Structure 1
Amino acid sequence: MSNIKLIIEERPSNIGNFMVGRLLPFREKRMVGPFSFIDHMGPALLSDHENLDVPPHPHIGLSTLTYLFEGSIMHKDSLGTEIEIKPGQVNWMTAGNGIVHSERTPKYLRQSNKMLHGLQIWVALPKHFEQMAPEFYHADADDLPSWEENGIQFKLIAGEAFGKKSPIPVYSPMYLLELKSTAQASVKIGEHLFGESGIYILEGAIENDGNTFEPKQLLVAKDSSLCEFTMQANTTIYIFGGEPFPEERFIYWNFVASSKELIEEAKERWLKQEFEPVPGETDFVPLPERRI
């Protein structure tokens, strides 16, 4: 009997001047564990006059995780952080009671052709951390636990699993794992997972109970403890999940909260430009009327 509860197809979404493939939220599954939002950026070839430019915009009630496969993004935020993220590195920004950030192509790449490809993820904060002070953490590729089992390369990007712990400062029990295969291999890792689990297929294919699943699909497991499948050769997947929260999460634009009152308060603060600004930035993204 298949352990696949739900198959979510990647859906195109416009984030300003850049198209992404949206995976979460989905009408039948708003969250997987604490994960509330996953966008697949690219792969996109940007010409010498095309650049990523996401002006300053606010967040509350979540942590954002940026993980690149190709390209580079310059991150600036209202804490004064200014850092370039490159492939294999992690930017982890915890919004708490409010943070503002921008994401742009670095200056030295703006007049040249470049690739951009990666994942942007939101992890909701537990209720007792929703109003914490904002924080930012950057991890280099070498900081992340990596190992090999049965011919599969594992990397623990965030959280805890397999008795290992990523340095990313998460605020609830969760995990984000990268698995890469060079040859066909069986995977049986349910004993190392907990809570709700999802699998995103970046490249290659996996098989489960006679069914083959391919890129641009997100699979949600019925039971994470039964996580067992076969990876085809040259396959890369991301397994993510963790303990779900007891309360519902509301999402409006870039705001995630356990109460609609916190969302409304954040909307008012952004309309009145009461969030801390990003040093050196003058433009901003206006509050939209639509929901995610």
Structure 2
Amino acid sequence: MSNINLIIEERAADIGKFLVGRLLPFRQKRMVGPFIYIDHMGPVKLNERNNFDVLPHPHIGLSTLTFLFEGSIMHRDSIGTEVEIKPGAVNWMTAGRGIVHSERTPAYIRHSEKNMHGLQIWVALPKELEQMEPSFYHIPESGIPCWETDGIQYKLIAGEAFNRKSGVPVYSPMYMIEIKSSQKQELIIGKHLYGESGLYILEGAIESDGNIYGPRQMLVTKDSQLCTFTIEANSTIYIFGGEPFPEERFIDWNFVATSRELIAEAKQKWKDQLFEKVKGDETEFVPYPTLPKK
């Protein structure tokens, strides 16, 4: 019996002059553990006339995790943060009761060719913390636990697993793990996992129960404790997972909450422009989307 419960293919989504491959939410699986949103950005080459510019926009009820493979993004937010994220580092922004942020190509490379490739992720907050004060943490690549076992390279980007703990300050039991292999090898890692798990293939392939799965697919397991597969040579995969929440989560645009009332309040607050402005990026913003008139 296969341990794969669901196969999610990337679907194209437009985030404003930039196409991404969306993995979550999915109609048959809205969340994996506390992970409620996963976008694969790129890889894409931008010329001197094109830049990655996501205008100021709001969030509530979640933490965002940005992890780049290539490129650079300047993050600014309404609590005064201004930091450049580069490949291998982690930007962890917790919206709580509300935060506004922008993501742009840094000024020093705006007029040159550049690549963009990475993952953008939302992690829902526990109900008792969804209205907490907003915060921001930047963790450099050197601060992320890395190790090698039997020729397999591991990186614990966030959370706890493999008897290790990342410095990213998460708020519920979860994990995001990078696994790289230069050789074909069987991995039996279920004993290190818990809750729900999704395995995303960035490059290369894995084999499970005689089936081969390739890039841009996420495999959701029936039981994370039975996570066993063969990783092909020169492959990179990511495992997302953790304990699911007992309550349903509602999602509307950039807002996540356990109640529709909280989302309605945030929606009106944004329409009325009552959120705090982004420091150093106050003049532009993304309006709340409206359906086109027929």
Specify if TM > 0.5: yes
What is the aligned partner in structure 2 of residue 57 from structure 1?
57
What is the aligned partner in structure 1 of residue 70 from structure 2?
70
Q: CA deviation at 1:185?
A: 1.1
TM-score normalised according to structure 2 size: 0.98
What is the aligned partner in structure 1 of residue 20 from structure 2?
20
What is the aligned partner in structure 2 of residue 90 from structure 1?
90
CA distance in 2, matches of 1:24, 1:150: 32
Letter in 1 for 2:69: F
Q: Is the 8 A contact 1:51 1:104 kept in 2?
A: yes
SS at match of 1:261: helix
SS at match of 1:142: helix
SS at match of 1:108: helix
What is the aligned partner in structure 2 of residue 246 from structure 1?
246
What is the aligned partner in structure 2 of residue 219 from structure 1?
219
| Length, aligned pairs only | 290
What is the aligned partner in structure 1 of residue 134 from structure 2?
134
Q: Report the RMSD for the aligned CA atoms in angstroms.
A: 0.6
Q: Is the 8 A contact 2:76 2:280 kept in 1?
A: no
Question: Structure 2: which 5+ runs fail to align?
Answer: none
Instruction: After the TM superposition, list the runs of 4 or more consecutive aligned residues in structure 1 that deviate by more than 3 angstroms.
Output: none
5 Å-filtered alignment, 1:108-119, equals 108-119=108-119
5 Å-filtered alignment, 1:118-129, equals 118-129=118-129
What is the aligned partner in structure 1 of residue 174 from structure 2?
174
CA distance in 1, matches of 2:192, 2:242: 11
CA distance in 2, matches of 1:215, 1:82: 33
CA distance in 1, matches of 2:290, 2:147: 46
CA distance in 2, matches of 1:3, 1:261: 38
Question: Structure 1: which 5+ runs fail to align?
Answer: none
| Residues 203-225 of structure 1: per-residue CA shift (max 9 Å, x gap) | 00000000000001010000000
CA distance in 1, matches of 2:256, 2:17: 23
> In the alignment, does 2:111 pair up with 1:100?
no
Letter in 2 for 1:286: P
SS at match of 1:102: strand
CA distance in 2, matches of 1:164, 1:100: 32
Q: % of aligned pairs identical? A: 70
Q: Is the 8 A contact 1:62 1:95 kept in 2?
A: yes
Q: CA deviation at 1:289?
A: 2.9
CA distance in 1, matches of 2:178, 2:3: 20
Q: CA deviation at 1:63?
A: 0.2
What is the aligned partner in structure 2 of residue 189 from structure 1?
189
Q: Is the 8 A contact 1:150 1:185 kept in 2?
A: no
Letter in 2 for 1:221: T
CA distance in 2, matches of 1:76, 1:18: 19
Letter in 1 for 2:181: S
| Residues 31-56 of structure 1: per-residue CA shift (max 9 Å, x gap) | 00000000000000000100001110
> In the alignment, does 2:284 pair up with 1:283?
yes
